[in-house]
Structure 1
Amino acid sequence: MTSIPIAQGDPAHLLPPSWKTQVTAWLAEDTPSFDYGGYVVGEGERTATLWGKSDGIIAGRPFFDEVFTQCGCTVEWFAQDGDAIATSSHDGGKMKVATVRGPVRGILLGERVALNTLARCSGIATRSHELVVKLRDAGYRGILAGTRKTTPGFRLVEKYGMLVGGADAHRHDLSSMVMLKDNHVWSRGSITDAVRAAKAVAGFSVKVEVEVQSEAEADEAIAAGADVVMLDNFTGDGVKVAASSLKTRWQGKHHFLLEVSGGLRADNVEPYVCNDVDIISTSSIHQGVPHIDFSLKIEHEQRIDNLS
């Protein structure tokens, strides 16, 4: 696995001002009252090494840093978000990723929260990167996107991991884009009425996407002014036929993007690869994803007892 390029700029600059309060809440959850272990170790200055112990893509540095900042520690990194961990190329099968310095109590206060966050974010970046590579190798030139099936309270970290891994984060919340799914359409009465109602309040700056189950429904959505049409739960052959037909029929009449979704994973996505499709979306890059293995070890001198 090779390092992946990050677009110009630091991905940490994407984060909103409020994100640090989430870190405060994580720490409060982990130590809601007394820190008994902290009493044992005290506040002597120590150094700990962060080791990467399984192959993958690093993602989540800002969250890791903020955990330790709030615990009175500093972090020195030897890798960037987007860099690859290749354990086989390092002695002992592990890679030195960072050094944490500060009061030993602070290091241990932040250890588990920081590791859990980094491990999950890196796992999402790794799975995203692997699927992007698979699709490119299959000839797909469009966008791989995640979904809104994220963990409540942890969405920002998961979406960050997708971006570092080279995937599109799709919409972040209900305010980011109007997505009219089957329940919206059934509740409103028709695709046309649902799109018109959405356009009336969303204005010019918010896109409207419609989930459809057939080519006829796609035609209705496009005619009503949908910006994105999602072909949901089509077969691979069905996607290719419908996508080609829709792009040909509406060429020069109305601009729209075609998205394909519905249970797509690395082991079944190739039949859906078609460059008439603009977006392939999946929750498989962030749900049930293996974590990357990290450990944080405090440096110490071996104790030798003198026998007399």
Structure 2
Amino acid sequence: MAATQTHSYAHLLPPSWKGKIAEWLKEDCPSFDWGGYVVGEDTKRATLWCKSEGVLAGVPFFDEVFKQLECTVEWKYKEGDYLSSSDGKKVKVAVAEVRGPSRKILLGERVALNTLARCSGIATASRKFSDKARQAGFKGIVAGTRKTTPGFRDVEKYGMIVGGVDMHRYDLSSMVMLKDNHIWSTGSVSNAVKAARSVCGFSLRIDVEVQSHAEAVEAIEAGADVVMLDNLVGDDLIACAKKLRADHGSTHKFLLESSGGIDVDNVAEGGHVDNSIDIISTSSIHQSTKHVDFSLKIDPSS
């Protein structure tokens, strides 16, 4: 009998992530914990409340904060669940319970809540964006970008995955992306692609940002794996993509990506959705994204 494999998004996280949480705790309490002195070591129970609609994401980070502080967490919902009001009134959902010494619950409170709120906000925005694209008939890949917060990329990319979108490249080493500055610095699209391929080998894709149909053709003929039609929209975008498919699809293997100014309000109406496009990439799901509102309240009777 074949073994049943259980998949968890937490299994994606690199070995370094727990060390980052230790640094966040250190940052938040670099010296004396005056409030901790006041409340002491009595064991308490605290309830994690969700107070606005959204996708629950960031559970491993929340858990690890309290694990490092010798507290336990018991969840009432699964990661990826959509939290909302059951009666159409103000959202107030008991999501989890934290148990441990009162001073340690409060020591981890802000780090845990900030991380969960940010991650859940990105997951929520990602799901809404993806759903809007699917409703408009798009069957390709919806992806985030590398425009993440320094030091917080694990959390933000993780939120994209929980929200159901592709996280695009994780960092500069994950895929070769040649943008306008690379092309201007080397003199041409062909020069940039040739130089990149000479060192990255067969195992990395090369994604080239182009500004016109002519540059797209040059990128395809130079061997680009992905051609990003940057800031092209509407009829211009779709006409360009269809012509590239018709003229070069039988002789070259490539993906077409649409990017630049795409958000949940225009993804369906702004001429970005057409199945001649393979990938829609956006930074709107993680930049200036509204957080999901959480609070942690100690039960005075516990």
TM-score under structure 1 length normalisation: 0.94
Alpha-carbon offset, residue 88 of structure 1: 3.7
Paired residue secondary structure (2:274)? coil
Q: Which residue of 2 aligns with 1:193?
A: 191
Alpha-carbon offset, residue 93 of structure 1: 3.4
Alpha-carbon offset, residue 144 of structure 1: 0.8
| 2:150 partner amino acid | P
| 1:191 partner amino acid | V
Distance of 1:251 and 1:166 partners within structure 2: 29
> 1:142-161 CA deviation, whole Å, 9 max, x = no partner?
11100010000001100000
Residues 33 and 90 of structure 1: CA distance in aligned 2, closer, same or farther (over 3 Å)? farther
Q: Which runs of 5+ in 2 are unaligned?
A: none
Residues 90 and 298 of structure 1: CA distance in aligned 2, closer, same or farther (over 3 Å)? farther
87, 91, 104: which one aligns with 1:106: 104
Contact 1:88 1:94 in 2 (8 A): no
Alpha-carbon offset, residue 184 of structure 1: 0.2
8, 11, 36: which one aligns with 1:10: 8
214, 217, 238: which one aligns with 2:215: 217
Distance of 1:191 and 1:65 partners within structure 2: 47
Contact 2:52 2:292 in 1 (8 A): yes
Contact 2:51 2:90 in 1 (8 A): no
Aligned residues: 296
What is the 5 A alignment of 1:45-194? 45-89=43-87, 93-194=91-192
TM-score under structure 2 length normalisation: 0.96
Q: Which residue of 2 aligns with 1:278?
A: 278
Q: Which residue of 2 aligns with 1:299?
A: 299
Which stretch shifts more, 279-288 or 7-16? 7-16
242, 256, 259: which one aligns with 1:258: 256
Q: Which residue of 2 aligns with 1:289?
A: 289
Distance of 1:290 and 1:8 partners within structure 2: 31
Distance of 2:87 and 2:171 partners within structure 1: 40
Contact 2:48 2:294 in 1 (8 A): yes
Distance of 1:91 and 1:137 partners within structure 2: 27
Q: Which residue of 2 aligns with 1:3?
A: none
Paired residue secondary structure (2:245)? helix
17, 20, 27: which one aligns with 2:18: 20
Alpha-carbon offset, residue 87 of structure 1: 2.1
Which stretch shifts more, 88-97 or 255-264? 88-97
Q: Which residue of 1 aligns with 2:200?
A: 202
Distance of 1:8 and 1:190 partners within structure 2: 48
Alpha-carbon offset, residue 92 of structure 1: 6.9
Distance of 2:117 and 2:43 partners within structure 1: 26
Paired residue secondary structure (1:87)? coil
Alpha-carbon offset, residue 89 of structure 1: 3.9
Distance of 2:85 and 2:156 partners within structure 1: 24
Paired residue secondary structure (1:131)? helix
> 1:107-151 CA deviation, whole Å, 9 max, x = no partner?
000001000000010000000000111011000001110001000
Which stretch shifts more, 208-217 or 293-302? 293-302
Q: Which runs of 5+ in 1 are unaligned?
A: 1-6, 303-308
Distance of 1:89 and 1:289 partners within structure 2: 26
Contact 1:230 1:261 in 2 (8 A): yes
- Quick one: percent identity of the two aligned structures? 63
Q: Which residue of 2 aligns with 1:226?
A: 224
| 2:33 partner amino acid | D
Contact 2:132 2:267 in 1 (8 A): no
| 2:241 partner amino acid | A
